[in-house]
Amino acid sequence: MKCTIDNFSGLIASELAKYNKQVTESVKEIITEEANQLVENIGNDSPKRSRKIKNRVLNRYSKNWTAKKQFENSLNISYTVYNKSDPQLTHLLENGFATRDGGRVEGQKHIEPNEEKMIESLQEKIEKAVGEI
């Protein structure tokens, strides 16, 4: 298509709209992949055994991490990563807890380190995807 003064602004607007759509689709795909990867990583790093908590509960806890899409529109997408079987254990296992006899069970960090890795990975992948478009 030839560019004239009359259609110059329309051509720029249409090209920017195409670019915006490509970037948005790429970012949404990356966020979906990262949410699923985060679920896998947290499940792998979750505590598996403990003398204080029954093994079957921890095995169920480590296997039941999931990512749920909370919101999506043409520009945004949002996921929540959570444990669907035992959500009440996430804080206790991550940060530790006091026992009845006055002792303390130390927490096993399994959510926070994976979250930090995911954020770094997400930033790198988005920057790379935007640079390639």
Per residue in 17-29, pLDDT (tens digit) is 999 999 999 999 9
Put simply, whether the predicted model's pTM sits higher than 0.85 gets the answer: no
| Inside any domain, residue 12 | no
pLDDT at site 2: 76
| Inside any domain, residue 117 | yes
DSSP string, 84-126: SS-TTHHHHHHH-EE-TTS-EEPP---SHHHHHHHHHHHHHHH
Q: Which domain holds residue 128?
A: 25-132
| Inside any domain, residue 70 | yes
Question: What is the distance between the alpha carbons of residues 2 and 14, in angstroms, rounded to a whole number?
Answer: 14
C-alpha closest to that of 27 among 62, 71, 78: 78
Per residue in 30-84, pLDDT (tens digit) is 999 999 999 999 999 998 765 555 556 677 888 999 999 999 998 899 999 999 9
| Inside any domain, residue 5 | no
Task: Give the count of domains, the chain.
Answer: 1
67 and 38 Cβ atoms separated by less than 8 Å: yes
pLDDT at site 59: 77
| Inside any domain, residue 11 | no
Question: What is the distance between the alpha carbons of residues 14 and 109, in angstroms, rounded to a whole number?
Answer: 48
Per residue in 107-129, pLDDT (tens digit) is 999 999 999 999 999 999 999 99
Tokens of 48: 């598996």
Per residue in 1-12, pLDDT (tens digit) is 677 888 888 889
pLDDT at site 132: 84
| Inside any domain, residue 20 | no
| Inside any domain, residue 99 | yes
